Each structure stands twice: as C-alpha cells, then as structure tokens.
Amino acid sequence: MMSNRFTDALFQLIRSLEKAEKRHFKLYIKRSSAKEDLKIIQLFDALDKMPDYDEKLLLKRLPAVTKPQLANLKTHLYKQLLASLRLVKNAENIDLQLSEQLDYARLLYNKGLKLQSLKILEKAKETAKANHKFNFLAQVISLEKKIETLHITRSTLEKTELMAMEASAISSHIDRVTRLSNLALLLYRWYVKNGHARNEEDEKGIKEFFKSNLPSDPEIITDFYERLYLYQSYSWYAFIRQDFLMYYRYSRKWIELFEAEPFMVTVETGHYVKGMHNLLNAHFDLRNYNEFEVTLCKFEAFAKTPAANQHDNFRIHTFVYINSARINQHLMLGTFKEGLVHVPEIEQKLEEYALYIDRHRVLVFNYKIATLYFGSGDFTTCIDYVQKIINGPVDLRIDLQCYARLLHLIAHYELGNFEIMEHLIKSVYRFMAKMQNLTVIEEATFKFLRKSFNLSPRKLKPELENFLQTIRQFENSRFETRAFAYLDVISWVESKVLEKPVSAIIQQKVKQSKRNPG
C-alpha cells in the first residue's frame, strides 16, 4: 500500500519531472537570484532526493526554514515549476501555443495596440480552425468582438457580419460537443462503476438515457470533435450492452477519424490511444484473431513514435493498453504459460508508474494475471492475485469484484480445499446476489460446486456432463456472455470432462475457428 507516499501535490509534481525538465527549471529559476528563489532551489533539491514525502525529515534537511514558512515556500515552488514547464512544453502542445497567442493579443490590446492585437488574433484563429479547437476559437472571437465594439478599427461591415455569423456557428458547435462529450463521459463512468448491463432493467435504463441524450439532428454532426464524442458514446453504449458488433463498428469509426486526419493523432494523442485500446477490446470480444494481431502490431509501432512519447500520460497509457492487449491475446489463444512471461515487466512498471495509474487499471491487471495463472494450472498464485481484488474496496467494477470471487472459489475447488468450500460458496453466492450479479451461468456453477465436492470420481463425471449441457445452451445469450468473457466456464468444464488442460481445449477451439471463420 502507498497510503502517504504520494499525498503531497508538490512532491507528486517533482516526482513526475524528467531530467531535462529539472535542468530547465534550475536554469529558469537561477535567472533571478532573490533569496526566496535560492531557498526554493534548496527545497526542490531536498524533495527531489526523497523516496517518499516526509515533512519532519524535510524540515530537518532545511534548517533555515521554519514550519510556517514551509507552506508558503512550497506554494511558490509549485507555481515556479508550472511556469518553467509551460516554457519547456510550449512548442509541443497546440493548446499551450494558442493560449500564448491569446495572452499576447490581450497584452497588446491593453497597451492600446488594437490593430496589432487583431493581427495576432487572426493568426490564432487560423491555427485554431486547422486543429478543430473551437473552444479556443470562441475566446478569440469574443476578444475580436470586444475590440470591434469598443473601438473604430476600420473593419468592413462584411467582416463584422461574418464575425457575428461565425460566433453563432461556433456557439452551436460548442453546445453539441459539450452534450456529446457529457454523454460519452457519463456512459464511461457507468461502466467503470457497474461493468456490463446485468439484466433487462439495466439495459432499459441505459437505452433510455442514451436515446434522450443523443442530439436530435445527427446530420449536422460533421466536425472532428463532434464525431469523436458521438463515436465514443456509441462505443460505450454498445460495450455496456455487450453488443460487440456495434462496439467494433464504432471503435473502428473512432480510429478512422484519425486515419482521415493523421495530424490529429499528435493534437489528441490521448483519444487516439483510447480508441486503439477499444478497437483491440472489440477484436478480443469478437475473437477476431487476425485483426487483433494486425491492430496490436500497429499499436506497438505507434508506441515508438514521438507522439506516443511526448508526455508521461501518453507513454504510460500506451504501456497499460498494449500490455492489457498482450494478456488478452494469450487468454484468447489459450497460451497462458507464454502470457506469464509479461507479468514481471508489467508489475515492475505498475510500481514505477504507481503515481499515475488509477485503481481501476490495477484491478483489471490483477484479474487478468490471476486468469493467466488459473489457465496455467497454478491455482495457488491465482488465489494470491484475486485476493488483492477481494481485500480491496468494492467501489469499482461490481462485475469484476464478483468474478474475482468466483475465480477464487473455483481455484480452491481445483486445489481440493473442500473443507472451506461450503463456507466459500455461501459467501460468494451472498455477495453476488447482493450485487445483483447472478446470471443463469453463475446459478448453475454454484449448483454444480455444491453437489460435486463430496462426489466420487465415478459419480462426478455425469454431474460434469450435465453441468456442461446446462451452460452450453446459454453460450449465445447476451446477458450471459459476461460469464464467458471473464471466466471461460465452458472451456473449464470441458477440460474436466475430457481430462485435458484448459489451454489445450481453448487452442483446439482457436484452430477450429481459424479453419471455419464466420
């Protein structure tokens, strides 16, 4: 646990700096040699050397600084670091460049140099339009209108009419982007909290919410950002409802937006990375083995480009999504032992990036790694990983919380820990019922486990065959597919019936599927 390791905002910021950024800060701050600034360099150096934030130790290392002074010094250092970062990152970021242009225009206007200000605004407007930055465009036009309204600038009537029309069009556009981005955000939040729709009631609620928030005039959605948020909304809507074909179609459209305007990959790298992640997930859900491989190779090639490595954020998210996809590929192909090769590097990076990676991602990794160990026949290590989920808070991904407990139960069954089975079955059943997460598959699984752990091998075989027959009929039922996506119960039961490893069963299915696609 890292309860106090990264609790201090200034310490977090210093921990996130690269060598070049630290060097630039020292040069930036030494240009002014005020005593206060020399103190903040000492504070910076002391914090930079600390593995964890510790205020008592910090005050010991800075004898000239009292406790009341420390708070002010930290605030001053934080502001100076941000100012330094803004200078060093300005050339890399279109938003920062546009903000700088707007700042210059405001400074010139305040100096009374109205025409110079308008000239800069005109240039900023062109850059904003080229990069679909309409929120920024609204600020530029607002300042332009202010100058034109308050002063005689010799602008033509045609130009001012055009400006008024432009302002109205941008206002409508911003309203559509706001509504669509809100819809995408709220659908994503629903998924992070609940996972997939569990029943008809969830499905009905999501459908009503989605339909009521969609713009009534889809034909006027033409701009990059409007379409981006529209495709994201459809992707999340389809994913929650487990309509994997629709999920694939809209994830594909999401990436095609960037393929049509490649420069937007640099402008909106985060959205491109997320789109690739969703497209890989869609291939995984549909078992598109070849397309998955092609998309993963493309994503791995992107990870080496300057755009992917421009910021910590992009580099870390690319790492998370590529490694998540690599594990998914091994789960999909049944190559569990080969998948375990990635685990040490993933764990090392999760520790290294602990400051930046949210609990949801760690939860998903722990579940996927547990599944790899389960498929490899290492049930004890599988239990270690699901325990990390079971012992954590229950505020994220209700579905994964439930499947972690079910996997934990089945791993104990595999280990023959029958003395605790009865207690575990009751406990897991109660948890899943409370979370309204019991599908027909789970009900059948509990029924089988209750019966089977006291049976002799001779009597167990027909029970396994009955269980297999029961769950097979639900393989194509939409509300039951979660059970198969998170835990391939059918392949597990087949492995027990045929007395073969789970990996062999899945690999056989992959071969068959590749021989008879569609």
Q: Is residue 63 part of a domain?
A: yes
Q: How far apart are CA 181 and CA 177, in angstroms?
A: 6
Q: Which of 193, 168, 264 is nearest to 225 (CA)?
A: 264
Q: What is the pLDDT of residue 34?
A: 60
Nearest CA to 258 among 132, 138, 89, 137?
Answer: 132
In single-letter form, the type of residue at position 129 comes to K
pLDDT value of position 174: 85
Contacts of 124 (CB under 8 A, 6+ apart): 98, 101, 102, 105, 136, 140
Contacts of 128 (CB under 8 A, 6+ apart): 98, 134, 136, 137, 140
- Does one domain contain both 53 and 114? no
Query: Two tokens at 92?
Result: 């890399």
Q: Identify which has the larger pLDDT, 517 or 190.
A: 190
The pLDDT score that the predictor gives to residue 435 is 76
With respect to residue 148, please indicate whether it lies within any of the assigned structural domains: yes
Single residue among 117, 138, 155 that ends a domain in this structure: 155
Same domain assignment for residues 113 and 147:
yes
Q: Which residue has the higher pLDDT, 481 or 57?
A: 57
- The larger pLDDT score, comparing residue 455 to residue 156, is at 455
| Domain-embedded: residue 238 | no
**In this structure, what token pair is assigned to residue 449?**
């486990």
- In this predicted structure, the answer to whether residue 37 has a pLDDT above a threshold of 70 is no
Q: Give the residue numbers spanning the domain of 85.
A: 9-91
Q: At what angle do helices 9-16 and 67-89 cross, to 10 degrees?
A: 40
In the chain, % of residues over pLDDT 90 = 37
pLDDT of residue 156: 56
Examine residue 323 and state whether it is found in any structural domain, yes or no.
no
Same domain, 68 and 38: yes
Which whole-number Å values give the CA distances from 518 to 224, 283, 287, 477, in the listed order? Answer: 33, 14, 10, 18
Domain assignment present for residue 210? The answer is no
Considering the chain, what percentage of its residues have pLDDT values greater than 70? 92
Question: What are phi and psi for residue 241, nearest 5 degrees?
Answer: -85, 0
Distance of CA 474 to the CA centre of its chain: 31
Alpha helices in 353-420 (DSSP H): 359-375, 379-390, 398-414
On whether both 55 and 111 belong to a single domain, the answer is no
Mean pLDDT on 286-295: 94
Cα-only R_g, the chain:
28
Under a CB-based contact definition with an 8 Å cutoff, are residues 373 and 379 in contact? yes
308 domain residue, yes or no: no
Residue 513 lies in a domain: no
The reply to whether 64 and 104 lie within a common domain is: no
Residue at which a domain ends, from 138, 155, 172: 155
Are 85 and 114 within one domain? no
pTM of the model: 0.76
Q: 85 and 40: one domain?
A: yes
The per-residue pLDDT for 4 is 46
Same domain, 107 and 80: no
If you ran DSSP here, which 8-state letter would residue 77 be given? Answer: H
Q: What pLDDT is attached to residue 434?
A: 84
How many whole angstroms separate alpha carbon 45 and alpha carbon 216? 56
Residue-wise pLDDT for 425-434, tens only, equals 999 889 888 8
Which residues are CB-contacts of 56 (< 8 A; sequence separation ≥ 6)? none
Nearest to 307, CA basis, from 358, 274, 272: 272
Domain end marker among 91, 117, 140: 91
Task: Give burial (CB, 10 Å; 0-12/13-18/19+) of 233.
Answer: buried
Structurally, the chain folds into a number of domains equal to 2
Is pLDDT larger for residue 194 or for residue 388? 388
**CA-closest candidate to residue 354, choices 320, 390, 324, 387:** 320
Q: For residue 36, tell me if it sits in a domain.
A: yes
Euclidean distance between CA atoms 55 and 74, whole angstroms: 11
Higher pLDDT, 46 or 358: 46
